Amino acid sequence: MSKKRMKKTTRREEYKEKFNEQMQVFNYIMQDGEQIVQCKAPYPEYWFISNKGYLFSAYAGKLRILKANHRYIGTMNKNGVRTGQDWYYEHTVEGEYNKHIPMHKIMSEHFGKNEFGSEETEVHHIRKNLRYKPNDGNVCNRAENLQLLPKEIHKELTRYASKTNAELDKELKQKVKEADCPMYAYTPEMLEALIKWNIQNCIANGLQPVIYMTSITDDAAEIEAEAHPLKIEK
């Protein structure tokens, strides 16, 4: 008499099957370009995260979207108001008190692209998180609004994003004036050739050229900023 072999499944696979079954009756409408993946360690195997800023739990009998907590963080200004904000999830670990998991952290760990290949990175919000309301955590922390950047590049990008183009131009002119540097006039063709030469020179010396991009606005609070490694075709 032959014995029927049973397929062995891991707990992780069981939660994946459970999530897929529950999703069929959850009445959730996927957005364009949305991806949902099962969370990796050290997060619970019954958590599933969407690149659109949602975290699902398939632990109980019914699928549910976990609500992130909101808090104000950072130093206080002269009015006693903290200057930053963020969103986080609470997760109770057996034998420990609640763990606070920043929303931008878990999102970037599953969908963030490390364009610079740096081992140590910081999470950057392209549109500043202070521009979002307390109930807009999923919009603020969706994958398309986050970047993984090396610390020094993040610091420099933050500086560019803190001032308007007019303010940066004024600051640059003042530095040139104080340094008593000579000034030259270039045609667009000459300027393009000079920029290309500098990029090639950086690459030849083992340096990574970086392009910093900011939106043009008269309100520094509304500036959107991002940074990317710059490559040039030979």
Q: Which two tokens stand for residue 61?
A: 């009998």
State whether residue 189 is helix, strand or coil: helix
DSSP lists the bridge partners of residue 125 as: 146
Can you list the pairs that 99-105 forms with residues at least 24 positions away whose Cβ atoms lie under 8 Å? Answer: 101/43, 103/53, 103/68, 103/137, 103/138, 103/141, 104/129, 104/141, 104/146
Q: pLDDT below 50 — which residues of the chain?
A: none
Q: What's the gap between Cα 165 and its chain centre?
A: 24
Q: Which two tokens stand for residue 203?
A: 């690459």
pLDDT at 109: 97
Please list, residue by residue across 110-132, b when 16 or more beta carbons sit within 10 angstroms of its beta carbon and e when fewer do: bbbeeebeeeebbbbbbbbbeeb
The model's pTM is: 0.87
Domains parsed from the chain with CATH numbers = 10-149 (3.90.75.20), 153-234 (no CATH)
What is the per-residue pLDDT across 143-162, written as a single tens digit (0 to 9) for each?
999 999 999 999 999 999 99
CA 195 – CA 192 distance, rounded (Å): 5
Q: What's the gap between Cα 153 and its chain centre?
A: 14
In sequence order, what E strands does 80-204 have?
A: 82-92, 98-102, 122-125, 146-149
Are the C-beta atoms of 85 and 70 separated by less than 8 Å? yes
pLDDT at 99: 85
